[in-house]
Amino acid sequence: MKVAIIGAGLAGSEAAWYLANKGIKVNLYEMRPKKFTPAHKTSNFAELVCSNSLGSLNLDTASGLLKKEMELLNSLVIKAAKKSFVPAGQALAVDRNKFSKLITETLENNSNIKVIREEIKSIDELDEDIILVATGPLTSDTFSENLKNILGDKYLYFYDAISPIVYADSIDFSKGFWGSRYNKGGKDYFNIPLTEEEYERFYEALINAKQVPLKDFEANYYEACLPIEEIARRGKQSLLFGPLKPVGLIDPRTGKQPYAVVQLRKENKEGSLFNLVGFQTKLTYPEQKRVFRLIPGLENAEFARLGQIHRNTFINSPKLLNKDLSLLKKENIFFAGQITGVEGYCESAASGIYAAINIFRKLQGKEPIIFPKETMIGALIHYITDKERKNFQPMGANFGILPPLDKKVKDKRKRKILYTERALNILKEKVLANI
């Protein structure tokens, strides 16, 4: 039995490593150096094209918990990161060239892995028993067209327009009201009214804030996912006809329509996370925090995810994937990495491990193992495969996607430590003991 893995990024590399160590023969397809993406510069596997940091190591952070779970699952990415570590405070930062070279050499020297340096243009080219698609956020145009034919046009996206997400317990709910526009849809939104003075202060800060420089291949925005600051530059009143429009919203405290309204939508059933509707942005992270905290009620906002817009091929996973990351209609085809809608280096790598575990089980004729939602990996997989999810957008690791604790804990750091302890205990009992 053979497995084909398309793409030797973080997810594909992890999957190849796991399966090879289980004695499975893997054909690992990587189009570089014959064909490069607009962002990649080398032919090495798991090349880090943005930051050289994999995030915090602290176990009171979601990023730290995710890394610990990966380490317990024998992650190649974590092993290579620790060997190529460079000092960066509490973060796991790496010498990116040494990091990717270590992963490349490890996989190329594994007798169960055959590296094939060719671009796969169609899944139909392959005759392996199981196929894992891990082509990443910059999947080639040719292969994207093939995926369109398999998945359907409406299930494949090419721009990642992400609005910021804030933790509910950092919002001052006394400064807004619940309700939907024209009272349609119940109380699905938390609405923050702005006076004309508050709006103008926010507007000026927004249009003068620093932005992340665009890459050439990101320069043309789709009209449907314009950054909020670009909308604002079209005129002082433009936001009042866009994401901050007050039409159809009456503040029950005044009986009047506000001058402007910022809407927050629940991001999960528990209501622990809220999305700032229409606030996709190219502002730098520090500027997002500064500007968005000018909004009444968000003065002390803590962000589970900050906004961004960039070129990113990803699929509508909730509509397409089973809980084991196999395709609903073709269960011998699996997906992993950023193409599934996980956001971040470690998140991508972790999804590769998860997919590989279930590919191995499938080859053995065993049922999939679905990680409990109390683990960070399990919560991420649940998020991207939840069939009830609407308005799907990519998501990274954060404590807000975990189920609440059995008891309320006011101290935030202690609460995060309890989340971590619970996750690691459950991972050991329910997953590690059974794989």
Phi, psi of 105 (to 5 degrees): -65, -40
Quick check: bond before 87 cis, omega within 30? no
CA 355 to chain centroid: 16
Pairing of strands 53-56, 85-86: unpaired
**Sequence-distant (≥ 6) Cβ neighbours of residue 88 within 8 angstroms:** 53
Do 137 and 313 meet the contact criterion of CB atoms below 8 Å apart?
yes
Task: Tell me the backbone φ, ψ of residue 10, rounded to 5 degrees.
Answer: -65, -45
- Give the SS3 label for residue 167: strand
For residue 427, CA distances in Å to 138, 159, 386, 393, 406 come to 32, 34, 20, 26, 18
Which residue, among 381, 359, 362, has the nearest Cα to 372 in the 3D structure?
Answer: 381
Count other Cβ atoms within 10 Å, centred on residue 363. 16
Delineate the domains of the chain, giving CATH numbers in brackets: 2-162+310-434 (3.50.50.60), 165-306 (2.40.30.260)
Give the position of tokens 């320069």. Answer: 219
Question: How much is the pLDDT for 271?
Answer: 84
3-state secondary structure of 409: coil
Supply 223's token pair. 């009209």
Strand order in the sheet with 130-133: 113-116, 25-29, 2-6, 130-133, 333-335
Cβ–Cβ < 8 Å for 260, 228: no
Whole-prediction pTM: 0.78
pLDDT at residue number 312: 75
Q: How far is the C-alpha of 240 from the C-alpha of 261, rounded, in Å?
A: 8
What pLDDT is attached to residue 268? Answer: 76
Beta strand extents in 154-285 (DSSP E only): 156-162, 165-167, 177-178, 189-194, 260-266, 273-276
- Please tell me the predicted confidence (pLDDT) of residue 217: 47
3-state secondary structure of 403: coil
pLDDT, residue 213, reads 79
CA distances (Å), origin 393, targets 63, 119, 231, 340, 341: 19, 28, 21, 10, 7
Per-residue pLDDT of the chain (435 residues; tens, 9 = 90+): 899 999 999 999 999 999 999 999 999 999 999 888 776 789 999 998 777 889 999 999 999 999 999 999 999 999 999 999 987 778 898 998 899 999 999 999 999 999 999 999 999 999 999 999 999 888 888 999 999 999 987 777 766 667 899 999 999 999 999 988 887 766 778 999 999 999 999 999 999 999 987 665 444 454 556 789 999 999 999 999 999 999 999 999 999 999 999 999 887 778 889 999 899 899 999 999 999 999 999 999 999 989 887 677 889 999 999 999 999 999 999 999 999 999 899 999 999 999 999 999 999 999 999 999 999 999 999 999 999 988 788 899 999 999 999 999 999 999 999 999 999 999 999 999 999
CB 351 within 8 A of CB 376: no
